[in-house]
Structures are given as structure tokens and as C-alpha cells.
Amino acid sequence: MNSQLYNQLISGQIYSQLKMLDTALEEHHRWLANIMLNLTFNTPPSKNDLSEDAHYKCAFGTWYKQFHDKDLARLPEFQAIGAIHQKMHAKTREIIQRKQQKVAPKLDEFQSILNLSKELRNSVAQLKEAIKSDLYQTARLLIEVFDKTSEAVMISDPAARIINVNAAFSQITGYTAAEVMGKNPSLLRSGRQDALFYEKFWDALNTTGEWQGEIWNRRKCGEVYLQWLSVSAIYNQLGEVHCYVGIISHIRAENEHQQWLYQQAHTDPLTGLANRIVLNDRLFHAMAQGRRDQQSVSVMFLDLDGFKQTNDKLGHQFGDQLLCKVAERLQGAVRETDTVARFGGDEFVIVMPHSSRTTLAEIETMAKKLVTLVALPYNVKDREYTISTSMGISLFPNHGEDADKLLHYADCALYTAKSSGKNAYHFHSPD
């Protein structure tokens, strides 16, 4: 059972109502005390006490009228308190009007009002228990559906901060609930929809309270996928947005085929790594996120030292297997948020987003680790073989905010590393 969602449903729906009910009941007690003082000490009554709609003018009557909707009206406890409250107002008005005619109220009339007040308090207590029981049962049912549905569900607050996701969401996106809690759903953006798309999205959501359609999003591993998304605004009793609920449906068969075609067009056929198209997309996405969160991004350009000679000497099949081994080793050495792409031939590019706390020394440590890792022996076609790599590094935003220039700077730094003796790394320098 999702205890966090359970608490949200209970606290959001039950306690907000019961708190208002308790406040209204306190106002009722003050009103009753004031009426008793008026009757006892001959204080002139107020106009509200004598008006025909005094039942609805007091705080309790206002609460009753405001929450008189189909969900509460079907509860017999709710109907009972309305009848008691109105009867008490009518009895009080009758006593006040007779007192204005110089007819003193009888003791049993005072007692009848007190009895009605006591009856009202008892009915309110019963109503509170009925509301709790009714909404607890509803909450349990919703949570069962929430946790077990195969469709991904995401709930966000009015400020579009994620407050809960279900298990299917984590399976589809790769993000755990803890990783997305409090974040904006924009962390799923693929970069394939422009600002105008999201402007229309929010316009429809704010105008009609719902939006649905196909959208390209990005998994935690960086993979872009097509989904059918339905988003609805949930409103409270005051007509204000209480939360947004997004449901990701299963990708339809034709979209799965589109996804397959997309993967074929965006994956390197030999190594399975991202190709140049995906590299540019991931770099653009990493720079956009870095610009928004004031974080840096490393662009590492690698080239295998002496690979042409290896290919010519041992054959293309050996060279292809060696490239796959290198690709596998590089992919296994980085995080899921990093991108390893085959740029062409024996060239690889790694895009590595950093946190705002990452230092240049830490980036240098990672570069040294990768160069050392590539140089370890490989088993290719039952033969142990070693090959080294040279690496050039450029940094966003230190060296610029243009993706093509960052790749160019890293490429230039790569050849500086090669000319310095190979099996090394070198950072781009404006000089």
C-alpha cells in the first residue's frame, strides 16, 4: 500500500473538511452563549438573530450550505445536522420574538435549545466519523488502483511539483519515486517538442482542465520514447486546482513500430551506442538542463591510438570486435545520465552532465580513469590485445554555449593529446 498517497488523500479530503466543521461548531457555541445572555439579561437581539435566514447567516449554517453537495448530502448524518440546526434557529427566533412582546420565556424553552445544541454536537460527531469511514474506504480503493494499474500515474501539486508516482511510472521512465519527488515533470522532456507545444499544452489545461495526446519523453537512461499522455486538473470545493494527474498509457502497436524505426535510425549498428543524431540531441538537452540549473557539462572526444594499423594488420572483423569491446567498456564506466556515442570510425564522444558542486579536479579524475580503463587488455577472438586512447575535453559553459563549437574544441584538444605522446587527455584551451 502506498502510504504517502494514502496520507495525501486522507489529509487533503478529510481533515480540511473536518477542520472547517470544527471551526463552524465553535462559532455555533459562541452564538448560543450570546443568545442565552440576550434572553437572560434582556439584551436587545441583533437583526441576524431575528432574520428568516439566520440559519444560513451563522458560521455553522454557512458551512452546511457550502458543503451541501451530492457526496455529503447522501450521508444521513449530514441531513440530520441540517434539520437540527434549522430547528434550533427557529425555536430561538420564536422565543426572541415573544420576548419582544413582553412574554417571558419559560425554563423548559431554554432547556429545549440546550438539548438541541447537545443533539447537534452528537450528530456532528457522528458525521465526522461517517466522513472518515467513507473517505478512508474510497482512499483505500484508489490506492489499490493507483498501485496495481499497468499505466503510469504521476500526481503533481498546483505548482507542477511531483508529489507522487506509482510503480508503473518507475518501470516506464526508470526514475524511482524518491528521485522525482518535488521535481518538475520537465525532467522527462526529450527536447523534441518546442516551447509553442508546451504553451498550447498549458493553455488547454488551464482552459478546459485536461489535455491528451502523443508526446516524446526521455527515460532516465537517456532513451527517447513515444507515449500517449492524458493530464487532468483536479479541483477542490472552491474551484481551485488541487492537483494535476497525468496518466501514461501503453504505447500503441503502430507507435511501437515507429519507436523501432526511430531506434534503427538513431543507434550505431555496430556498437549499439548512440549515433551522431542522438549525440547532438543529448548534448542539446544536457546544455539546456545545465543552463537552467547552473551546472556544467563535459564533452569528451576519444580516438583509439593506432587503430588503423590494427585494422590493417589483424583484419576488419577483429577491428569491429575490438570497437564493440571498447564501446561496452566505456558504456559500463559512466552513469545512466551520461551519453556514450560512436562519432565515426574509431572515434567516441561522451557527454557528461555534472552537478553544481562538481570540480575541475573531479572531471580530470574521471578523464584519467577512462583513459586508463581503455588501455587495459581485451580478449578479442581468443587473443589478448591492448590499445590506448587519446582524449580531448571541452566544458560547457566555460568554453562556450554552442554544441558544434564544443565538439570542435574537444576534437582539437584530442589532437593536442595525440601530439603530446598519446594515451593521454587534454582540456581545451583558448590559446
Q: What is the pLDDT of residue 134?
A: 61
Q: What is the pLDDT of residue 50?
A: 42
In whole angstroms, what is the distance from residue 69 CA to residue 57 CA?
19
Q: What is the pLDDT of residue 56?
A: 41
Number of domains observed in the structure of the chain: 3
Q: What is the pLDDT of residue 171?
A: 86
- Per-residue pLDDT of the chain in tens (431 residues, 90 and over written 9): 344 444 444 444 555 656 666 666 666 666 666 666 665 555 554 544 444 444 445 556 666 666 545 556 666 777 777 787 777 777 777 777 776 677 766 667 767 777 777 787 787 777 777 766 666 665 565 666 666 677 888 888 889 999 888 888 888 889 998 899 999 998 898 888 888 888 899 999 999 989 988 888 888 888 888 888 889 888 876 778 888 888 887 555 455 556 666 666 778 989 989 999 889 989 999 999 899 889 999 999 999 999 999 999 999 999 999 999 999 999 999 998 899 999 999 999 999 999 888 899 999 999 999 999 999 999 998 899 999 999 999 999 999 899 999 999 999 999 999 999 999 999 998 77
Where residue 99 sits, what CATH number does that domain have? 1.20.120.30
- Other CB atoms closer than 10 Å to residue 164's CB: what's the count? 21
Q: What is the pLDDT of residue 37?
A: 63
What is the CA angle 198-200-202, rounded to 5?
Answer: 70
For the chain, the straight-line distance linking the first and the last C-alpha, in angstroms and rounded, comes to 60
In whole angstroms, what is the distance from residue 220 CA to residue 248 CA?
16
Q: Of the residues 232, 263, 294, which one is the last residue of a structural domain?
A: 263
Total-model pTM: 0.46
Where residue 312 sits, what CATH number does that domain have? 3.30.70.270
> Are both 71 and 210 inside the same structural domain?
no
Q: What is the pLDDT of residue 351?
A: 96
Q: What is the pLDDT of residue 25?
A: 66
> Are both 414 and 327 inside the same structural domain?
yes
Whether a cis peptide bond, with omega within 30° of 0, leads into 397 is: yes
> Are both 290 and 419 inside the same structural domain?
yes
> Are both 421 and 282 inside the same structural domain?
yes
> Are both 135 and 103 inside the same structural domain?
yes
**Is the distance from CB of 237 to CB of 256 less than 8 angstroms?**
no
Q: What is the pLDDT of residue 94?
A: 76
> Between β-strands 425-427 and 389-396, what pairing exists: parallel, antiparallel or unpaired?
parallel
> Are both 96 and 192 inside the same structural domain?
no
Q: Of the residues 123, 146, 169, which one is the last residue of a structural domain?
A: 146
Q: Report in angstroms the alpha-carbon separations of 250 from 19, 150, 218, 227, 228.
A: 41, 8, 15, 7, 7
Where residue 202 sits, what CATH number does that domain have? 3.30.450.20
Q: What is the pLDDT of residue 315?
A: 92
Task: Give the domain range for residue 121.
Answer: 3-146
Q: Of the residues 146, 170, 205, which one is the last residue of a structural domain?
A: 146
Residues in the chain: 431
**Is the distance from CB of 290 to CB of 297 less than 8 angstroms?**
yes
**Is the distance from CB of 301 to CB of 414 less than 8 angstroms?**
yes
- Dihedral sign (CA 376, 380, 384, 387): negative
Mention every residue, 6+ apart, whose C-beta is less than 8 A from residue 383. Answer: none
